Amino acid sequence: MTVDLAPLLATAAEVLDAASTQFIAGHRADSAVAKKGNDFATEVDLAIERRVVAELTRLTGIGVHGEEFGGEPLDSELVWVLDPIDGTFNYAAGLPTAAMLLGLLADGEPVLGLTWLPFTSQRYTAMVGEPVRCNGEVLQSLAPSELSDSVVAIGTFNIDSRGRYPGRYRMAVLEGLSRECSRLRMHGATGIDLAYVAAGVLGGAISFGHHVWDHAAGVALVRAAGGVVTDLAGRPWTVSSPSALMAAPGVHEQMLEIVRAVGEPEDYA
């Protein structure tokens, strides 16, 4: 479908800017809602989601699918995808590595990406066909790179965890990467990892999660920067992907080779 993305990006940026004060004021908020495992949401998550959903719906006429309350179906012709606080554990603990993530899907494809890091005053934006920007300044496209020169981020995990990607499998991936990359990092905020890949701060990153609100905004950023985003099996990322591997050209291929050498996740169950 054809849609004018520039005004939608401008409106979305204004909405996130307005919510940033509330985001900063709620730092170290207590858990309000228990979720699966030891996950939780704070009152600030809930309040920001309600606020952003109401404003985006009113100003753009496009429905929103949020982490906390769901909403518009993901297969809608157009739908905003929102994570009000990415890195909730960091946020509640008082760490600055937390963000607001907002993507726009058009027929399932991320066409706009906004990643706001209020504590570090970084505002990453991307629009299909345009370069990535940080605080309005155009960032350089990602050049082909080597894994050996790259800082790589990986998602947090418990070695005893089960599920689609068991903890022992994740540790094997971590071990393989540690032998080849320059440095490893574990930020605990998927959206921040994606933004940093798009900005060239990280050479690559791996997310073992499948939640679309963690990935939609960042996929738009990385692709706009010229990076590659697949799942851990090497298939192009979609809203139903079970994981994400995002990296600069060259680095992605080397990371994928390491992941494949580890074997199948079910072998580690």
Question: Residues annotated as binding site for Mg(2+)?
Answer: 67, 83, 85-86, 214
Each as own residue / partner, the long-range contacts of residues 183-187 (CB below 8 Å, 24 or more positions apart, any chain) are 183/151, 183/152, 184/151, 184/152, 184/153, 184/154, 185/151, 185/152, 185/153, 185/154, 186/153, 186/154, 186/155, 186/156, 187/87, 187/90, 187/97, 187/153
- Name residues whose C-beta falls within 8 Å of residue 160's C-beta, 6 or more positions apart in sequence: 167
**Are residues 121 and 9 in contact, defined by beta-carbon separation less than 8 angstroms?**
no
**Residue 240 amino acid letter:** S
183 vs 176: CA distance, rounded Å: 12
Q: Per the annotation, where are the binding residues?
A: 67, 83, 85-86, 214
**Pair type for strands 137-138 and 133-134:** antiparallel
- Please give the DSSP secondary-structure letter assigned to residue 144: P
DSSP reduced 3-state for 205: strand
Nearest Cα neighbor of 86 from 144, 23, 154 is: 23
171 vs 150: CA distance, rounded Å: 19
20 vs 127: CA distance, rounded Å: 21
Nearest Cα neighbor of 113 from 99, 98, 128 is: 128
**DSSP assignment of 84-103:** EEESHHHHHHT-S--EEEEE
